[in-house]
């Protein structure tokens, strides 16, 4: 699970934060270290393994959170608005990194966001939730199959129409 905020332990160095989910699996120390370093390399932070979390930028901390989630080799990676607290430039960069990550991991990704453009730019399928104003839990209103290539998706002629379609479902 990747949270809205990185949720890193300040008393643990970066690699130790990534190893956290591996500690109860009965792995040797060397295997935990190896399994922590793989996702750190995947998110471009291998050289930061020995650093303290407070020395990293917000975007780097969020990438450590992604590496921690990947270290346990999940079949499904849940991401709960992981970029919502970031500035626009960092957010866009991490969105691009997530597209690359999708290519390099076998995990399915369930990505929660309130940003419609973000949803359409990152997803194969957008599920629109609603109905919480009735006093009941939200349910799926509709599903939109994106069907556009990941590369250059925001520049694709059909991108704006898909965003508008999702907006109309919510309105």
Closest among 137, 112, 131 to 123, alpha carbons compared: 112
pLDDT over 80 at 134, yes or no: no
Number of domains in the chain: 2
pLDDT over 90 at 166, yes or no: yes
Residues 9, 64, single domain; the answer is: yes
Residues 44, 79, single domain; the answer is: yes
The token pair at 53 is: 């979390």
pLDDT tens per residue across span 54-104: 999 999 999 999 999 999 999 999 999 998 888 888 888 889 888 888 888
Domain edge (last residue) among 94, 112, 130: 112
- What residues have CB less than 8 Å from 54, skipping those under 6 apart? 10
Residues 99, 145, single domain; the answer is: no
| Mean pLDDT to the nearest integer, 18-45 | 94
pLDDT tens per residue across span 139-164: 899 999 999 999 899 999 999 999 99
CATH code assigned at 62: 3.40.50.300
Domain edge (last residue) among 90, 112, 134: 112
Count of beta carbons in the 10 Å neighbourhood of residue 113: 18
Closest among 10, 90, 131, 168 to 144, alpha carbons compared: 168
**Which percentage of the chain shows pLDDT scores above 90?**
73
Contact call for residues 44 and 97 (beta carbons, < 8 A): yes
Residues 38, 78, single domain; the answer is: yes
pLDDT band at 19 (very low <50, low <70, confident <90, very high): very high
Mean pLDDT of the chain: 92
pLDDT tens per residue across span 48-60: 999 999 999 999 9
pLDDT over 80 at 136, yes or no: no
- pLDDT at residue 2, rounded to an integer: 94
In whole angstroms, give the CA distance from residue 139 to residue 149: 28
Name the 3-class secondary structure at 2: strand
- pLDDT at residue 85, rounded to an integer: 84
Q: Which of 113-117, 125-129, 138-142, 156-160 has the lowest mean pLDDT?
A: 138-142
Residue 78 sits in which domain range? Answer: 1-112
- pLDDT at residue 105, rounded to an integer: 84
């Amino acid at each position: 699970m990747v949270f809205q905020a990185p949720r890193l332990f300040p008393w643990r160095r970066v690699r130790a934060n990534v190893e956290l989910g591996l500690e109860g699996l009965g792995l040797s120390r060397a295997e935990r270290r190896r399994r922590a370093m793989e996702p750190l390399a995947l998110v471009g932070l291998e050289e930061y393994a020995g650093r303290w979390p407070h020395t990293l930028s917000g975007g780097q901390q969020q990438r450590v959170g992604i590496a921690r989630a990947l270290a346990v080799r999940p079949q499904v990676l849940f991401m709960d608005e992981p970029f919502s607290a970031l500035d626009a430039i960092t957010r866009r960069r991490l969105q691009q990194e997530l597209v690359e990550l999708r290519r390099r991991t076998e995990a399915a990704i369930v990505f929660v966001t309130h940003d419609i453009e973000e949803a359409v730019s990152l997803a194969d399928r957008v599920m629109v939730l609603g109905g919480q104003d009735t006093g009941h839990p939200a349910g799926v209103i509709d599903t939109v199959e994106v069907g556009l290539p990941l590369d250059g998706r925001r520049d694709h002629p059909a991108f704006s129409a898909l965003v508008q379609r999702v907006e109309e479902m919510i309105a």
